[in-house]
Structure 1
Amino acid sequence: MKNITIWEKNKSSKLKYIIAIDPAGIGQTGIIIYNFLKKKIINNITFSSNSEEEAINNMYLIFQ
């Protein structure tokens, strides 16, 4: 995974979105989608899951 905190300035113009996933497994799982061009969060999704498999399946459903 690329560490975007030290991303070179000339490469940042090539980014469209940053997707951050906190796949905690059991409990709360969060997904944030940041529009780099507009410099704002366009989606902030949090869902509950009872197992790691359920959390993974929920993430697949969101990104389809």
Structure 2
Amino acid sequence: MRLLRLPEVMYLTALSRSNLYRKIQAGTFPAAARTGSNSVAWVEEEVLAWIQARIDERGLPDTP
């Protein structure tokens, strides 16, 4: 299991910091895990699953 810091999550999702936290508040993006008193990180598998779900929502057939 790998933990991702905010800059990498923003890069992978193409979301801004404010939009990312807005989606977390709305319950539409995985919440971060607290890794210290002033730091958080996201579980890589959860972020990648969120990205895959966005791709699947397009309804396009899978490519071989």
User: What TM-score do you get using the length of structure 1 for normalisation?
Assistant: 0.29
Bigger radius of gyration, 1 or 2? 1
Higher strand share: 1
User: What TM-score do you get using the length of structure 2 for normalisation?
Assistant: 0.29
Q: Which structure exhibits the higher relative contact order, with contacts defined as CA atoms closer than 8 Å and separated by 6 or more residues? A: 2
